[in-house]
Structure 1
Amino acid sequence: MYLLKCILINMIPEKEATVYTDIFFQKVHPSYFVFNEIRFRERQHKFFTSVLPNAGVTGQAQDFTTEEICSMYLVWILGRNSLFAGVPNEAFADYDFVPESVMDHYLNLVKICLSGYVFSSTVHSVRLLYLAGLYHETKKKRKISWLLFSNCTLKSVSLGFHQTSVVRQFDPDVQEEIKVVWWSSFRLQVNNCAMLGKLPNFSLHEVDIGLPKLDFVEDELFKEVYFKSVHMMKQIT
């Protein structure tokens, strides 16, 4: 609980965090699909309206794990980095964004909380590893990103997220989240191994979990591409 309170910092207004979230889901998430966007935005709004104003209230804070909060912070960091990369976005030319030093505070909290993934049994811990690996990938830190992506898959396996018998014990909404995170992390692991000439940490023969339904995704073309990409991945494992 002490660690949870430590990471409840409020240095970015919700309006600015929403800008970063919008950019993340527009530019980053289509290629690194690990969220139910509707669910994420609902949780983020609750974080700003219920948790941060009552950070000292145990009941409010405990509704969010440290891994979920840090995943949220990484979404903001990745969205901001994408926003400021390349050609300046004229739509935000006059926007008063927080300085980079503020983002460094959030990143440092993520680094601290990463060590706790070993003891977590939630899907948020897997997602945190995935996003952290993605962050280091964008910074060209290949060895660190490889380690995080590999641990992401291994963590999923250790939690049994590749097995139907385990996943069916969760609520339907959580089952869908687990399937999205599992297939995205495993697919990325296989693709990275293929590019680097390495063997995957885990065999597809031991996987019997089905694909997510993606009922929350309105873009039919995206769903078609997603399902076909997983099918192609299965052909090379």
Structure 2
Amino acid sequence: MTFPVYIGIGSLRIHPHILFESLAYATAFRLLIKRVRKDSITPSQRTSVIVGGMIGALIGAKMLVWLQHIDLIWQNQQQLLLLLLQGKTVVGALLGGLIGVEITKKILGIHQSTGDVFVFPLTVGTAIGRIGCFLTGLSDRTYGIATTLPWGVDFGDGVPRHPTQLYEILFLLLLIIFLSWRSRFQYENGELFKFYLISYFAFRFLIDFIKPDFHPFLGLSAIQIACLLTILYYRRSIPQMVQLKN
């Protein structure tokens, strides 16, 4: 397999990152539109919350990816410029989106939790997007460190590496199955989102140990620090879904 793996549609050859990122956004948005019908806030409030979350996600995705690769400032100015223009991270987008939503809710005077409707759209969208990350190869900078394991993947530099993108897709698929099962039980409004956030951030905290990223903070990367702080903040909010729905 030669990376990036371009996708042929008719006479077109589409870059995998562009194709699967677009599919991820479209699928997530479609799922979100279906699920917001079950929400308790008004349509106008929900629209404002979504816009606030999108703005926050855009800012957070950029800010955290800059911190994650701050080492490029004195190593490779060309890669740094490309990163500033194209780089983003899911963890930063989630945190930025969460902050954007909370600010919007405070402005509008919304006190109830609004995160549960986002869980499945975010999980499915992230899994689809990671397919594009894997097929893009080295330039996406989401690959793992070198490995001698039989499933190591050579992304084009002659070094078999952990396919961390595939690990994440597998984790997200298992998370979708688990959350679908747990949704049969009673839980407080907002706990499903908190459980999703803690689960995903715990996974990212662990998986980033086998990524060749800059780890300046006590051996941790900027993304790992963000994940750890979020987990500590929500550590007492893991949902206890013990009663079956009628």
Higher strand share: 2
Task: Work out whether the TM-score is over 0.5.
Answer: no
TM-score range, shorter chain: 0.3 to 0.5
Larger CA Rg, structure 1 vs 2: 2
Higher helix share: 1
Larger relative contact order, structure 1 or 2 (CA cutoff 8 Å, min sep 6): 2
What TM-score do the two structures reach when normalised by structure 2?
Answer: 0.31
